[in-house]
Amino acid sequence: MNTPTAASSDTFLPYMPDVARCELSLRELNQMWQLIESSAKMNCPAEARLLLPAMVATRTGFAQLERALIANLVQEKVRHVLANLGTQARYAIDILVRNLFERTADVGFLATDVDLCRFAAGGDGGDGHDGDGALAAARQRLSDYRDKYTVYDEILLLDLDGRVLVQADRATPVAHSRDPLLAETLAATGYVETFRATDLRPGKPRALVYSHRMLDPDSGEPAGVLCLCFNFEQEMDAIFASYRDPSQRANMLLLDAQDRVISSADPLWIPAGVKVPTNVDGLPQLLMFGGREYLVRTFRSDGYQGYPGPAGWKGQLMMPVDLAFRNAGADALGGADPELIEGLLSHAQAFSPTLHELMSAVTRTTRTIERIVWNGKVTSAANNQVVGHGHETGHDLHRGNVNKLNTVLDQITETGGRSDAIFSRSIQDLYQTVLTASISEAALTSRLLVDMLDRNLYERANDCRWWALTAQLRRGLAYPSAEQSAAMSEVLAYINSLYTVYARLFVYDRTGRIVASTGESGEGDHVATSIGTHIDGATLGRVCALRGELDHYPEPFAPSALYGGEPTFIYHAAIRHPEQTSTVVGGIGIVFDSRPELVNMLHSGVAGRRNMHAFFITPERRILSSTDPACAPGDTLALDAGLLAAAENGDGASVARIMLHGGQYVIAACTRASGYREFRAGANADIEQPVLSVLIESFGPERDKSSMPAPSAQIERRSDTGPDFAIFYAGRTLMALKAARIQEAVPYAKVQKAAGANPARLGMLDVPLAGGKKHFVWVFDLALLATGKAGVVTDNSQVMLVRLGDSTIGLLVDDLHSVQQFDAADMTESPLGSGESALAPRLIKANQGNLLIQEIDIERLFARLRT
């Protein structure tokens, strides 16, 4: 029965041809198991009577595993697609909301611009212009603002009656507006956000407008309305280009509160205005739209800095189910070191418990088959020996039945191998699906983080350049006085109240002495008296050398006394004389609140995922910020040089790979910041500090190679004469016992541990006898007895029941191998087996002498245990 969060195999299987082929192969194997079972019953019922119950149980177990495997294949593939869609949807809406938050601060500050407020109130703007001169000055001021904040395609200033006083975009003239947003804005004390068609933007079907009332500087009464028109379509195109599915199998959408499409990455596919189904809870279900079934993932924004974003807006990805699972077989692990893959997959229990349990169940079933065959071969060998010493009567018939049993055992071995191969390959594909999702999500998240940082620093560069044009600051530095310093501090305080991402704003004169600053009265975490102190001489020189108002200077990320001694970004712009614009009278510095802001960006990428850490670093691997408490700003991140070099040369593309890091198997992704709009572009490309984002997801500690299971040795069959030997591993060494001495092998898990003085004696085993009776036998550690080093108990450990006369004991071995025949020519004395105490006096030369197997002497073993 499917839970509400489980993908239905019946629903999705028709769209997964690879899974359907796997299901067909498994059903064919199930029929083969039934055929082998029937063959054993008909051809050698007596010899196979002990095998049949185990064969039935094995067939039933494989049938259950088949259903579990198919269900897991379907669920993991669906989960991977939904996770990938969700990551893109969440990042798209978060990026947009962070951008729009900056717009709310912009309109709040520009609406207090004294010159624009005076112009709106009917004055000359405070610059001595009258009439056309004041209009030209106001228009130039708006144009200057738009040149710095290129996210706006229009800025308008209107009077109380809706008459347009001045606008930045003269190509689309507007004389008057009757839009209700004007009355709403005049009645509000803060900003108003409007998204719809408006006569402020004629010819556009809709516009995103941020408006704020303007007050008369003298009376404090409303004098007009400022409208900033966000270039919404351009911004959405940029988001779609950055975060849409590169294969274009999915469409990225922005939805309103009624689930109608606001913007579409492909409007010919899904146009704006239509209502679409949503999936906010991320359920694995198909949703119908336009006669086609889709996998859908929808995300709302959590807001930013207290700004929730436009009411009800959501990011959504929609992928047709018939396209969702194409190209799903891309080999994400193909280029990785096989030892890394093996080590990482050894921690599957941590990153995919369901798949680990499924693989463990397959392994247990495969081990059961191997034990059935091994025990059957041992029984067959014992029967052969009995026949060889018996009377001729019935000899040929009995030997024929033994041969039939061996044929059945060979069929079991072959079919078991095919079953194991199909299950193992399918589970490997499942693991690859899980790891592919992790790799692609790490790469996408890494790219998002540097994009988020660049978008943020783009705003910082704009802010310092625009605030440097503030009339009060220019006059305050050109005509210094105590009153002017107080007025400048008041302006800075107001700005800082709107732009909460700054820890401090400060203004300094031509000598570098700070004359006004925020953060001086005990607020914040970085309080330090700065007024009267001087900025660094080299920084002052760079600021005074700035050529124009479009230029800025970013200090390298480093500790600063203006940020409590912690490292941060500080952006500077030159402040010029109000009448002599070629004369620099000082500058403004803005201190980014790096510690919380950078780590908040990184946490938004990590999004609570355990065992994952994110970093901002320089190309020299110096950490700017980190979610890992063990890695502080200023530390050096021990990152693989190859990964860093690949990201450096990737032109902004993300690089992700499986690797070792800090003694852990990890998926690491790295992306170099490549800019946003004009930021890090053109003449500004070299002045910004290079930054890379790094994402590291840990899966578990590096495995000791000696603890990894060694591949099983292959033994070439070259003889049908000589005694049968049961071959097994003990102490990671290949050993053998004459098969006639072995009763059977059972899992070590059945041993009842018992304490004792003999370290080789591990416990007791309950062994069934004829007539339903039972008796207990002691179990000994063969590795300890034969090599002096105790064996290691694993899931593969077995106990062989060995007979000598009337005595039976159990021997712990690492694993079973096979039953093979060797004749006298294959035997040789062991150079290590001299002396009566040696348990392996002879060696078996297998594979033309290239593989040596130690033969355990059963008489010596029992003699050792009796002493």
Total Cβ atoms within 10 A of residue 583: 12
> What is the rounded CA–CA span in Å between residue 836 and residue 463?
91
Give me Rg for the CA atoms of the chain. Answer: 39
C-alpha dist (Å) from residue 693 to 26, 196, 658, 670, 689: 45, 37, 17, 6, 13
Copy the structure tokens of residue 655: 């690089």
Q: Which residues pair with 226 in a beta bridge?
A: 157, 212
Any domain includes 693: no
- If DSSP codes are grouped into helix, strand and coil, which group holds residue 575? strand
Helix %, strand %, coil % of the chain (to 5)? 40, 25, 35
Residue type, 479: Y
| Mean pLDDT, each 10-residue run in order, the chain (867 residues) | 63 88 82 80 71 78 84 88 90 93 93 92 60 85 90 95 93 94 96 96 94 94 96 94 85 97 96 97 95 96 91 96 76 69 80 80 81 83 57 48 71 79 78 81 90 92 93 94 92 91 95 92 60 94 93 94 94 95 94 95 85 94 95 92 86 85 92 87 79 93 69 72 89 91 90 84 83 81 91 90 90 91 87 74 88 91 87
Residue 772 pLDDT: 62
Amino acid at 296: V
Last residue of a domain, one of 550, 569, 596: 596
Question: Are residue 289 and residue 390 in the same domain, yes or no?
Answer: no
Within 13 A of 683's CA, how many CA atoms are on the CB side?
6
pLDDT of residue 436: 80
Domain boundary among 546, 567, 596: 596
213, 265: one domain: no
Q: Is residue 856 part of a domain?
A: yes
Counting the structural domains of the chain, the total is: 5
Q: Is residue 634 part of a domain?
A: no
Instruction: Indicate the angle between helix axes 395-467 and 52-110, nearest 10 degrees.
Output: 0
| Angle 39-799-807 from CA coordinates, rounded to 5° | 100
**Residues 581 and 478 reside in one and the same domain:** yes
Indicate whether 436 and 361 sit together in one domain.
Answer: yes
In this structure, is residue 686 part of a structural domain?
A: no
Rounded Cα distance, 523 and 531, in Å:
15
Residue type for 369, please? I
Amino acid letter for position 159: D
Domain CATH code at residue 587: 3.30.450.20
Same-domain pairing of 433 and 356: yes
Q: Which amino acid is at 552?
A: H
Provide the sign of the torsion angle of the four alpha carbons 427, 430, 436, 439, taken in this order. negative
Round to whole Å and give the CA distance between 714 and 100.
Answer: 66
The CATH code of the domain that includes 256 is 3.30.450
Structural domain contains residue 197: yes
* 433 and 533 fall within a common domain: no
Domain that holds residue 522: 468-596
End-to-end CA distance of the chain: 60
Domain match, 354 and 298 both: no
Q: Which two tokens stand for residue 145?
A: 């603002």
Q: Tell me which H or E stretch contains 42.
A: helix 17-43
Taking a C-beta distance cutoff of 8 angstroms, is the pair 692, 644 a contact?
yes
Strands 251-255 and 314-320, bridge-based pairing: antiparallel
Burial classification of residue 330, based on how many CB atoms lie within 10 Å of its CB (0-12 exposed, 13-18 middle, 19 or more buried): exposed
Q: Do 385 and 316 reside in the same domain of the chain?
A: no
Q: Are residues 728 and 858 in the same domain?
A: yes
* Measured distance CA(115)–CA(774) in Å, rounded: 103
Q: Are residues 732 and 845 in the same domain?
A: yes
Per-residue confidence (pLDDT) for residue 387, from 0 to 100: 47
Judged by DSSP in three states, 716 sits in coil
At how many degrees (to 10) do helices 17-43 and 52-110 cross?
170
Are residues 40 and 146 located together in one domain of the fold? Answer: no
Q: Is 851 exposed, middle or buried (0-12, 13-18, 19+ CB in 10 A)?
A: middle
Nearest alpha carbon to residue 643 among 688, 601, 699, 695: 695
Domain stops at, among 270, 293, 324: 324
Residue 355 near residue 431 (C-beta atoms within 8 A)? yes
Whether residue 107 lies inside any domain: the answer is no
pLDDT on residue 384:
63
Q: Indicate whether 438 belongs to any domain.
A: yes
311 located within any domain = yes
The span from the CA of 800 to the CA of 858, in Å, is 13
Enter the pTM of the model.
Answer: 0.79
All residues at 6 or more sequence positions from 219 whose CB lies less than 8 Å from its CB, including other chains: 121
Strand partners, 854: 735, 843
Residues 287 and 415 both lie in one domain: no
Instruction: Report d(CA 395, CA 465) in Å as an integer.
Output: 104
